[in-house]
Structure 1
Amino acid sequence: MNQPVTWGPPRAERADAARNRRLLLVTAREIIAGQGAAQLTMDGLAERAGLGKGTVFRRFGTRAGIFAALLDDDERAFQEQVLAGPPPLGPGAPPLDRLIAYGRARIDFLIGHREIARAALDGREQVPAGSQTPMSREHIRFLLGEMSLAAADLDVLATQLTAALDGPLLLYLSSAILTQAAPQVSERLGRGWQDLIQRVCRPR
């Protein structure tokens, strides 16, 4: 969410490096699930994973880098569901249904990862996490192109709809809606997305 996401496979790693990466990510998730994101530290992760501190620092660089790696890992799993998962999120459903499903799933993802996304910020980003969503724009543009939307400027429309799903809007919006529990927030924003898409993509 705070790094550009690619459609291709991850860069090849040495077997030992890949093994350490998996171990560290699993361990980080265990710490977050049991104690919360605020309790995850570089030293604590190294100790619990049974690896040297140097290994953790070389892998992630900073504490924020741990959270960025967790986001990247989950982003790839999310992409896989979009590219090859069951419909309507994956292929096989009408484009309107897929677009609605994509927005709802993306909102669930962003709300579910908001604490991790905040922790991934280390002050070096020019913009908040979630601003770079090339997958969203490309996917939305593709689905719009599959519909009959008359003379609509699909490039501009795709950009505007992508902005409606952008991380900063959902993660940092000053709104009473975000004081609710995550499932309530996701459901309310999801209904809003569905209403928006049905209105914008109404047959002319």
Structure 2
Amino acid sequence: MTQTRRPLPQAEAGDPRPEERADAARNRAKILAAAEEIVATRGVEGLSMADVAAAAGVGVGTLYRRFGDRSGLAYALIDRREREFQESFMGGPPPLGPGAPAAARVRAFLHALAVRVADQLDLLLMAETATPYARFGAAYGAYHRHLTILLAELRPDREPSYLADALLAPLAAGLIAYNLRERCAGLDTVHAGLDALLDGLDPART
């Protein structure tokens, strides 16, 4: 797939999308579901517009009109999951969402982000390596702001901005891929490593 220079998507509170007709919304949902299934079974390189159209029961022209090309379709898949994920930590139930202590929210967020990266690993590998700083786009900014606020509450005696970067570093798609695929580690290993880092930051555990 041709790499692009688009930033990773970000969901903002109150960020409305243009209204879609009911049939158009249904077609979009079917297309994205079919594309997700193909990526899950064949990988990003197997994302064929013709195959997605056939699986979704729509014409190939519909895909090109809506998404432009395979890259546009891939970014639509990332955007869909990214919006769901950001909604969960911005306004979902605790401990991931508001209402839990800062330490519990940081831990829940990092665990959930590890799962989120692993869930769309090939797509995120493509997106995060499109340019030298592609990883630090809009979605990273949302994660960083979220962690900075929580870390300022958890450890007011430390610089929260850099701590946020340090906690996000192990969750780069490339490092997650290396651990899962080359080291044959599981997400439980990733979670345990994140917990060890967090235990050193939590005043209640030090």
TM-score, length-scaled by structure 1: 0.80
Consecutive unaligned residues of structure 1, counting only runs of 5 or more, are: none
Match of 2:131 in 1: 126
Moved more, 32-41 or 78-87: 32-41
Specify whether residues 170 and 28 from structure 1 end up closer, same or farther in structure 2 by C-alpha distance, changes over 3 A only.
same
Specify whether residues 32 and 148 from structure 1 end up closer, same or farther in structure 2 by C-alpha distance, changes over 3 A only.
closer
Deviations 1:47-68 (A, max 9, x none): 2323222221122222122222
Report deviation, 1:202. 3.1
CA distance in structure 2 between the partners assigned to 1:167 and 1:33 by the alignment: 16
Q: Aligned pair 1:158/2:159, yes or no? A: no
Consecutive unaligned residues of structure 2, counting only runs of 5 or more, are: 1-5
Report deviation, 1:70. 1.0
TM-score, length-scaled by structure 2: 0.79
CA distance in structure 2 between the partners assigned to 1:2 and 1:194 by the alignment: 29
Deviations 1:132-169 (A, max 9, x none): 3112101101111222432x122222233233333343
Moved more, 23-32 or 8-17: 8-17
Match of 2:156 in 1: 149
Match of 2:3 in 1: none
Secondary structure in 2 aligned to 1:146? helix
| Equivalent position to 1:179, from 170, 176, 182 | 182
Q: Once the two structures are aligned, what percentage of the paired residues are identical?
A: 33
Match of 1:110 in 2: 117
Q: How many pairs align?
A: 196
Letter in 1 for 2:197: L
Report deviation, 1:38. 4.2
CA distance in structure 1 between the partners assigned to 2:46 and 2:156 by the alignment: 49
Deviations 1:23-60 (A, max 9, x none): 21122233345555543301111223232222211222
Does structure 2 retain, via aligned residues, the 8 Å contact 1:67–1:117? Answer: no
Moved more, 70-79 or 55-64: 55-64
RMSD: 2.8
Q: Map of 1:41-56 to 2, 5 A cutoff?
A: 41-56=48-63
Match of 1:200 in 2: 201
Does structure 1 retain, via aligned residues, the 8 Å contact 2:155–2:201? Answer: no
Letter in 1 for 2:131: Q
Report deviation, 1:5. 1.1
Report deviation, 1:179. 2.9
